[in-house]
Structure 1
């Protein structure tokens, strides 16, 4: 996809996404056989419900039908929220992951698995789980030191709502 098409799609679709109080995280155009595939990834601080994705998909489809942004060929439109394995790349991603366990790959080569306690403009305050009965330890990591970051899937993690109840 050319930068021009990406910019054009972003300019066309971002107002529709923002109207639903969502962030436009990613636009991906690829081929799926003879058809094109337009994948739109949206997110918010509260997450994204399926009904919201469906409403947004209808609005985006109508807008694309009014324009030639996808060209003359057939295409498939997918509107979804980011998967659990999406990399954390922007400040808002870390804020949304507060309270979650993350794996950080640092520029110095170390990997750190820890829970995000707080996020500020410069970095993260983390709680590194204790090993073999030891107590968790606190650690500070600056954004400039992070090469890659992802949320770790926790199957037995209690939801914040469960903890508050």
Structure 2
């Protein structure tokens, strides 16, 4: 079965479990690393996800995966928090990062740069508005490869 189909099945199976606990689906990933296949589910909730939350979802979802059996070879199943520097994907991610500094990487250079840091001012389905060097600037989402919070130490 192809990668996208497996990820879609994982998302579909996880939603009822996540809704029951008021957790949010963030992403699904099915990939080979160092000769081993991994199936990963990234989840979140207000206040952050705990190891116990991940274990709870993993146990319930493992049963569902065993029933459906979407993968015909061995793999490692993991449930995880998305991490502090995860890419913005959901509307909730964008809302949570309004007025915060982001690292934005482009597919092609934007104003001569492949990566910029800017403050997220607004967004919709097609574009983001950022404060770039003190000026509100609209950027088409199709130009953006990845957006993630900047981490300052």
User: Does TM, scored on the shorter chain, surpass 0.5?
Assistant: yes
- Structure 2 residue runs of 5 or longer lacking an equivalent are none
Q: Take 2:127 and 2:6, find their aligned partners in 1: how far apart are those partners?
A: 34
Q: Is the 8 A contact 1:104 1:146 kept in 2?
A: no
Distance 1:11 1:144, change over 3 A: closer
Number of residues paired by the alignment? 146
TM-score (norm 2): 0.70
- 1:115 to 2:119 alignment: yes
CA RMSD of aligned residues (A): 3.1
| Aligned-pair CA distance for 1:40 | 0.9
5 Å-filtered alignment, 1:3-42, equals: 3-31=4-32, 36-42=37-43
Residue deviations 1:85-132 (CA, integer Å, cap 9, x gap): 43224433221223432122466613442333x435375564567xxx
- Structure 1 residue runs of 5 or longer lacking an equivalent are 130-136, 156-165
Greater radius of gyration (CA) = 1
Aligned to 2:138: 141
Q: Is the 8 A contact 2:38 2:76 kept in 1?
A: yes
TM-score (norm 1): 0.66
Structure with a larger share of its residues in strand: 2
